[in-house]
Amino acid sequence: MTTVPRPEERELPFNVFAKACPSRGTLEHVTGRWGALTLGALHEGSLRFNELRRRVDGVSEKMLSQTLQALERDGLVHREAQPTNPPRVDYELTPLGHEVAGRLLALIQYVEGSMDAVLEARERYDETRGAR
C-alpha cells in the first residue's frame, strides 16, 4: 500500500465549490448557455464567425462575440484573423480547449441520449404534483 492518494482523493489547489475560486468563473464560461454550444461546435473543426452563428441556433452576434472573447482569454479558443477584404476570421480550439470540449461533449451526448427518460420523469413529476 502506498501513501500516494488516488486522483479523486487528492486535494486540488483549485476548488469550484468555494465561492471565490477562479475555477468557478472558468467553469461558467465553459458550461454557460452559449459557451458549451460554442465549444461543442468547434470540436469538429475550425469555423468562421457566421458559420458558428448559424451552427449555434439562436445566439445573437453580441453574445457569440462575447462568448468567444471569454473562451479566447481563458486559452480554450484560438482566433485567427486575416486582414483581407472582406475580412476572414477563423476560430478553432486550442489543445486545452480540445480536452475540455471532449469532456463537455461526453456530457452533452449523454444528456441527449437520456432525453426519453428525462421527458418521462417530467411527466411523472407533473402528474403527481401538478395538481397543486
Residues of this chain that interact with a second copy (CB under 8 A) are: 7-8, 12-19, 22-23, 26-28, 30-33, 36-37, 40-41, 55-58, 72-76, 96, 99-100, 103-104, 106-115, 117-122, 124-126
Residues 24, 15: contact at Cβ < 8 Å?
no
Q: Is the dihedral of CA 106, 112, 116, 122 positive or negative?
A: positive
Instruction: For residues 61 and 53, give the distance between their C-alpha atoms in angstroms, rounded to a whole number.
Output: 7
65 binds, among a second copy, DNA, none (CB under 5 to 8 A by kind): DNA
Cα 16 to Cα 106: distance, rounded to the nearest angstrom: 20
User: Minimum distance from CB of 58 to a second copy (Å)?
Assistant: 4
∠ at Cα 97 (105, 12), nearest 5°? 90
What's the min distance (Å) between Cβ of 23 and a second copy? 5
Where on the chain is the footprint of DNA (CB under 7 A)? 32-34, 48-51, 58-63, 65-66, 68-69, 79, 81, 86-89, 91
